[in-house]
Amino acid sequence: MLESRAIRFHEPIRLNGKEVYDLVKNSPPLDENSMYCNFLQCEHFSDTSVCAKQGDTLVGFISAYLLPNNNNTLFIWQVAISKEARGQGLALKMIEHLLERLHLKNVCHIETTITHENQSSWRLFEKVASALSCEIHSSEWLNKETHFQSQHSTEMLVKIGPFQTQH
Ligand SMILES: CC(C)(COP(=O)(O)OP(=O)(O)OC[C@H]1O[C@@H](n2cnc3c(N)ncnc32)[C@H](O)[C@@H]1OP(=O)(O)O)[C@@H](O)C(=O)NCCC(=O)NCCS
């Protein structure tokens, strides 16, 4: 267990790229990214992404972006919480933190993708919908055979909203 020091949230910076890479790599079933991809997330998507730090340790990371053709929808790309920091609702708090950012005040929909077997992720996003008092719907998006040629489980597209945030 991590000692109970406060966890702080901050926008990622380029220097976080390597520790984000390590956290994602150690958070199955997330797909491991190239380290280069994580540097891009930290630099180019920092406005819409968040790091959670306990002391100097990265204990959580969410990469997200606004849909290029619809800037009221936040697409959550990956959520990773270190094993030691799980079980305290940290990912939900990080999503709520993102929605409190002033430059995201127009966001009223969240989208993400989840595989059928990722129960903790389903539960997390059901809790997000419940916290935002709105609907959650899912439909098949990337099919195991058609899109992944059996090399990856089917990804369901999950849509949450519309919701209002307190700004
Ligand atoms: C998904 C994840 C980010 C959630 O981390 P977290 O914020 O610490 O979540 P918690 O452990 O507090 O659990 C959140 C909810 O999911 C439930 N949950 C956790 N693991 C579960 C499991 N294996 N099966 C079913 N429910 C589960 C918890 O009980 C809790 O619900 P509750 O409050 O109603 O009891 C974390 O488990 C993780 O990093 N997993 C690996 C990477 C991953 O799958 N990311 C999601 C892809 S988007």
What are the residue boundaries of the structural domains of the chain, listed by start? 7-160
Checking if the pLDDT of 55 tops 80, the result is: yes
Express the helix, strand and coil content of the chain in percent, nearest 5 each.
35, 30, 35
Q: How many CA atoms lie within 13 A of 149 on its CB side?
A: 0
Checking if the pLDDT of 131 tops 90, the result is: yes
**35 Cβ contact partners less than 8 Å away, ≥ 6 residues apart:** 17, 18, 21
* Enclosing H/E stretch for 129: helix 119-131
Checking if the pLDDT of 4 tops 90, the result is: no
> Does 55 sit in the ligand 1 pocket, CB within 6 Å?
no
What pLDDT score does 1 carry? 47
- Atom number of ligand 1 nearest to Cα 89: 12
CA distances from 24 to 36, 67, 130, 142, 166 (A): 13, 22, 26, 21, 31
Q: What percent of the chain has pLDDT over 70?
A: 98
Checking if the pLDDT of 132 tops 80, the result is: yes
Q: Which pair of structure tokens corresponds to residue 156?
A: 């369901």
Type of residue numbered 17: G
Checking if the pLDDT of 2 tops 60, the result is: no
- Is residue 57 classed as helix, strand or coil in its secondary structure? strand
Rounded to whole angstroms, the maximal C-alpha distance in the chain is 46
> Does 126 sit in the ligand 1 pocket, CB within 6 Å?
no
- Atom number of ligand 1 nearest to Cα 90: 7
Checking if the pLDDT of 75 tops 90, the result is: yes
* Enclosing H/E stretch for 93: helix 90-100
- Is residue 15 classed as helix, strand or coil in its secondary structure? helix
Contact indicator for 124, 91 with CB cutoff of 8 Å: yes
Query: What is the CATH code for 7-160?
Result: 3.40.630.30
- Taking the centre of ligand 1 as the mean of its atom positions, its distance from the CA of residue 167, in whole angstroms, is 28
What pLDDT score does 3 carry? 53
